[in-house]
């Protein structure tokens, strides 16, 4: 399938690259040609599953889902595989071809090939797990860029949580509600963590509607709300970043990534 490559310039003078391809398979990504040595790429495979790569290839995959969810997970291998909690739309590790390290709901600090990972205990609901159980928030530091994946967070973060997580460059946050934080809690969590970039996940789509019906709100509910607070909205299939360009970014941006298969 032929890829389309675009570069969008954000702010007046300085920004970072945002490359999108039309439904391209992850296996077609030419890491050496697309990525600089200190860059990373983020791809979205649906629900809460992302691939994070550098110029050497796929390094991190998050929350792989059972095919029953409605998406089609591409054939991918990774250095690190993380799972936020043991639910079918987040824990399908056999859907990944191969991985070197599995972090399945674990908390604490880990490292692999220069990548730093931390897991933070949280809950899938606002009743300390009594409704849906535990959830693990993960942060990843790769090429000096810090990414936070909230999993299926079901409550607002405490001051202690925010301090422990620390400064975040990119925040992957569930925005569909019902099973996770609601729309007001989403906005409060973004205000607390203060990321420069937000990547929404776990929202309703045509692919997942047969399973989740109308329980998950569409991503447009979130983007319309945050846009009213001055955030830019960008859409595409592949997000590439460097730490230098993040530091020079003016304003805040939401990137809605296309689902890839």
User: pLDDT averaged over consecutive 10-residue blocks of the chain (261 residues)?
Assistant: 36 40 44 76 96 94 96 94 95 96 97 96 94 97 98 98 98 95 98 98 92 91 97 94 92 93 71
| CA–CA gap between residue 211 and residue 247 (Å, rounded) | 40
Estimate to the nearest angstrom the gap between the alpha carbon of 224 and the chain centroid: 19
| CA–CA gap between residue 6 and residue 4 (Å, rounded) | 7
pLDDT at 9: 35
Q: Which two tokens stand for residue 21?
A: 């391809």
Q: Which two tokens stand for residue 37?
A: 């040595």
Residues 204 and 46 sit within 8 Å (Cβ to Cβ): no
| CA–CA gap between residue 196 and residue 253 (Å, rounded) | 7
CB proximity list for 216: less than 8 A, separation 6 or greater = 176, 177, 178, 179, 202, 203, 204, 208
pLDDT at 241: 95
Q: List, in sequence order, every beta strand (DSSP E) within 84-225.
A: 98-104, 108-112, 115-123, 134-142, 145-149, 170-174, 197-201
Residue 216's Cβ-count burial label (10 Å; 0-12, 13-18, 19+) is buried
pLDDT at 84: 98
pLDDT at 23: 38
pLDDT at 10: 36
Q: Going by CATH, does the domain composed of 18-257 fall within 1.20.1250.20? A: no
| CA–CA gap between residue 187 and residue 160 (Å, rounded) | 18
> What's phi and psi for 230, nearest 5 deg?
95, 5
CB proximity list for 28: less than 8 A, separation 6 or greater = 1, 3
pLDDT at 29: 58
Listed residue (176, 180, 178) closest to 151, CA to CA: 180
- Whether the model clears a pTM of 0.85, i.e. scores above it, the answer is yes
| CA–CA gap between residue 79 and residue 81 (Å, rounded) | 7
């Amino acid at each position: 399938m032929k890829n389309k490559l675009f570069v969008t310039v954000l702010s007046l003078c300085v920004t970072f690259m945002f490359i999108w391809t039309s439904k391209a398979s992850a296996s077609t990504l030419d890491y050496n040609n697309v990525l600089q040595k200190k860059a990373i790429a983020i791809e979205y495979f649906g629900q809460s599953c992302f691939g994070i790569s550098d110029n050497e290839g796929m390094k991190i995959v998050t929350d792989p889902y059972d095919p029953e969810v409605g998406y089609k997970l591409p054939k991918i291998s990774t250095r690190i595989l993380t799972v936020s909690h043991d639910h079918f739309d987040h824990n399908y590790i056999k859907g990944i071809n191969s991985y070197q390290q599995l972090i399945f709901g674990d908390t604490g600090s880990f490292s692999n090939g220069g990548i730093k990972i931390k897991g933070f205990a949280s809950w899938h609901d606002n009743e300390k797990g009594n409704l849906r159980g535990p959830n693990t928030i993960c942060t990843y530091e790769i090429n000096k860029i810090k990414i936070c994946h909230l999993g299926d967070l079901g409550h607002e973060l405490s001051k202690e949580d925010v301090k422990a997580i620390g400064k975040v460059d990119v925040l992957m946050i569930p925005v569909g509600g019902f099973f996770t934080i609601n729309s007001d809690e989403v906005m409060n969590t973004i205000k607390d963590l203060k990321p420069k970039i937000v990547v929404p996940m776990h929202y309703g789509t045509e692919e997942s509607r047969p399973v989740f019906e109308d329980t998950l709100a569409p991503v447009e509910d979130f983007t319309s709300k945050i846009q009213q607070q001055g955030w830019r909205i960008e859409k595409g299939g592949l997000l590439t970043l460097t730490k230098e360009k993040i530091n020079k970014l003016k304003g805040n941006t939401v990137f809605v990534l296309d689902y890839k298969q």
